[in-house]
């Protein structure tokens, strides 16, 4: 990959990529979605409200804004996209957000954070830089701290789309390979499925519950019939996350 072009894209990520993925939905709709996303996946993980929390790759700041609205106060974010950082600071008034690379930023803050969150970041990191990235994240955690690395799931039924939807993607992970890499730097590692379905009405709950479980059971049985062991693959979740402790 052309490193110079990748750097240029990441600097202008919001303008050339993120804005198009966001679509025409308004700010309130996006914020509500991130709220449901947080409640479904991470609400029980982040602990006390005064925890020092850093989001790597914070983009426009939607996730940090959700945390702020839920009472978390010591929030920080970094991103390579200046346009996204300006948006987060201007629209959401997130003053502790800045343009910075992860390793230089973390290296000067040993033990500085109780929680580090990186959503859809690790797949952008070149393989040779993953080790220094994770080592810096581990060293920046305070005693008892936690780091969460969320990535696209390469076992998902539409994984080829996730792998190639972004020109700056460098690699992909399954639950096995994500855990393998994390165990090199963290003593406690748990890989979990990330939920992207948030039913709100009785009809949606029925569809997401009984109907979906029935369909997945049939599809898993089909996989077992055509390929030994394939029924154990996590094909049913778009993203996965590694919850790590030093």
What class, spelled out in words, does domain 3-200+233-245 have in CATH? alpha beta
Ranges assigned E (strand) in 21-112: 53-56, 75-79, 97-99
High-pLDDT (> 70) share of the chain, %: 95
pLDDT at 12: 83
- Sign, CA dihedral 65-66-72-77, equals negative
The neighbouring-strand residues paired with 115 are 53, 146
C-beta separation of 224 from 230 below 8 A: yes
pLDDT at 230: 67
Tell me the average pLDDT across 51-69. 97
Predicted confidence band of residue 31 (pLDDT cuts 50, 70, 90): very high
The neighbouring-strand residues paired with 107 are none
pLDDT for 92-125, tens place per residue? Answer: 999 999 999 999 999 989 999 999 999 999 999 9
Tell me the average pLDDT across 157-169. 89
Q: Domain map of the chain by residue range?
A: 3-200+233-245
pLDDT at 70 exceeding the cut of 70: yes
pLDDT for 138-151, tens place per residue? Answer: 999 999 999 999 99
pLDDT for 195-238, tens place per residue? Answer: 998 877 777 776 777 777 787 788 778 777 777 666 678 988 99
Predicted confidence band of residue 25 (pLDDT cuts 50, 70, 90): low
Backbone angles phi, psi at 225, to 5 degrees: -70, -35
pLDDT at 20: 72
Q: Which residue has the higher pLDDT, 4 or 74?
A: 74
Predicted confidence band of residue 47 (pLDDT cuts 50, 70, 90): confident
> Cβ neighbours of residue 54 under 8 Å, at least 6 residues apart?
76, 77, 78, 112, 113, 115, 116, 117, 140
| Nearest-10 Cα torsion for 154, 237, 65, 50 | -90
């Amino acid at each position: 990959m052309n490193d110079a072009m990748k750097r240029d894209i990441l600097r202008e990520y919001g303008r050339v990529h993120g804005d198009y993925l966001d679509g025409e939905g308004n700010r309130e709709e996006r914020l509500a979605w991130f709220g449901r996303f947080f409640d479904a996946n991470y609400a029980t993980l982040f602990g006390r409200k005064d925890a020092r929390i850093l989001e790597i790759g914070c983009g426009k700041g939607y996730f940090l804004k959700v945390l702020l609205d839920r009472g978390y106060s010591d929030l920080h974010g970094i991103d390579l996209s200046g346009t996204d950082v300006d948006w987060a600071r201007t629209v959401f008034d997130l003053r502790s957000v800045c343009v910075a690379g992860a390793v230089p930023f973390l290296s000067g803050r040993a033990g500085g954070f109780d929680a580090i969150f990186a959503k859809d970041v690790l797949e952008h990191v070149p393989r040779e830089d993953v080790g220094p990235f994770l080592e810096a994240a581990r060293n920046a955690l305070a005693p008892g701290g936690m780091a969460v690395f969320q990535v696209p799931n390469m076992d998902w039924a539409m994984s080829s789309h996730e792998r190639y939807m972004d020109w700056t993607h460098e690699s992909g992970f399954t639950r096995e390979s994500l855990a393998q890499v994390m165990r090199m730097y963290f003593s406690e590692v748990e890989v979990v499925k990330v939920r992207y379905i948030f039913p709100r009405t009785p009809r949606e709950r029925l569809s997401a519950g009984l109907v979906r479980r029935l369909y997945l059971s049939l599809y898993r049985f089909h996989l077992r019939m055509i390929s030994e062991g394939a029924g154990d693959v996590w094909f049913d979740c778009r993203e996965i996350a590694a919850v790590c402790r030093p």
